[in-house]
Amino acid sequence: MGCGFRNQAKSVNARKGASQPPLYPLLVKEGNYCRILFFTLMQSSPDQEDFKQARALAYRYLSIRDRTERETADYLGKKGFDTAVVQQTLHFLKDANYLNDRRFAEHWARTRAENKQFGKYRLRQELTGKGLDTELIDETLDTLFDNVKEIDLARAVVEKKLRSMQDLEPEKRKRRLAGLLQRKGFSSDIIYKVLD
C-alpha cells in the first residue's frame, strides 16, 4: 500500500510559496504504517536580516572612533550575533576599508605619544589590549620612534611636571618623577638617563 509520499511533498511545497525554502520529505516506517516528516535544509550563509542589523550597529560603533577588528567582533558578539554573522560583517567592513588594523595602530600610537606623551612600553600594552598582532605592533612602534625620539618625550614629561614640584626635596622629586615616567611607559634605561 502506498503512502502518498510524492503527492504530499508536492502539495506542501506548493502551499509554502517561492519566498520560503522548500520542504523535503522523509519517510519513516512504523509497523504497518508509514509517517512522512518534512524538513528544510539549513542555509550555510548567515541570515541576511541579521547581517544588515550587525552592519548597521557596526557603522554606529565605528562612527565614534576607529576600532580594531577584535574590538568590533567583541562588540557584535555581545550584541548577540552568531559567529558567522560577525565574520561576514567584519569581512564586509574590511573590504570597504571601515576596518583597518594597521591604520588604527598607527593613529592610536601617534596620538597617544603626542597628546599623552606615553612611552613605548605603555603604547605596546594598549595596542595589545586592543587585540592587535604582535608583529604589527612592533612595526608600528619602530616606525613611530624612528620619527619621534622616546627620550625627548620623557624629557618633555619631566619639564612639564617639574613646575609643580619646586617645593619638594631633590630625592623626593626624583622618586616621583621616576614613578611618573614608569607609569607613562618609559624603560628604566630612559628614566635613568633623563633623571641623572
Average pLDDT value for the chain: 83
Q: How many CA atoms lie within 13 A of 124 on its CB side?
A: 14
Q: Is the pLDDT at 181 greater than 70, yes or no?
A: yes
DSSP single-letter state for residue 44: S
| 16-58 pLDDT per residue, tens | 444 555 655 555 555 666 555 555 544 445 588 999 999 999 9
**Domain boundary assignment for the chain:** 5-39, 48-99, 102-195
- What is the model's pLDDT at position 170? 85
Answer yes or no: is pLDDT of 127 > 80.
Answer: yes
Q: What angle (nearest 5°) sits at the alpha carbon of residue 72, between those of residues 71 and 78?
A: 90
Answering whether pTM is above 0.85, one says no
pLDDT score, position 5: 44
pLDDT tens across 66-100, in order? Answer: 999 999 999 999 999 999 999 999 999 999 999 99
pLDDT of residue 18: 47
Q: Which residues contact 163 (CB under 8 A, 6 or more apart)?
A: none
Q: What share of the chain is helix, strand, coil (3-state, %, to 5)?
A: 65, 5, 25
Residue 123 CA to residue 107 CA, distance in Å, equals: 12
CA 185/CA 153 separation, integer angstroms: 11
Of the ranges 11-20, 125-134, 140-149, the best mean pLDDT one: 125-134
Residue 15 has pLDDT above 80, yes or no: no
Extract the runs of DSSP E, i.e. beta strands, from the chain: 24-30, 33-39
Residue 46 or 155, more confident:
155
pLDDT computed for residue 16 by the predictor = 44
Q: Please provide the distance, in angstroms rounded to a whole number, between the alpha carbons at the two ends of the chain.
A: 100
Domain 48-99 has what CATH class?
mainly alpha
Give the span between the Cα atoms of 119 and 144, in whole angstroms: 11
Provide the pLDDT for residue 10.
Answer: 46
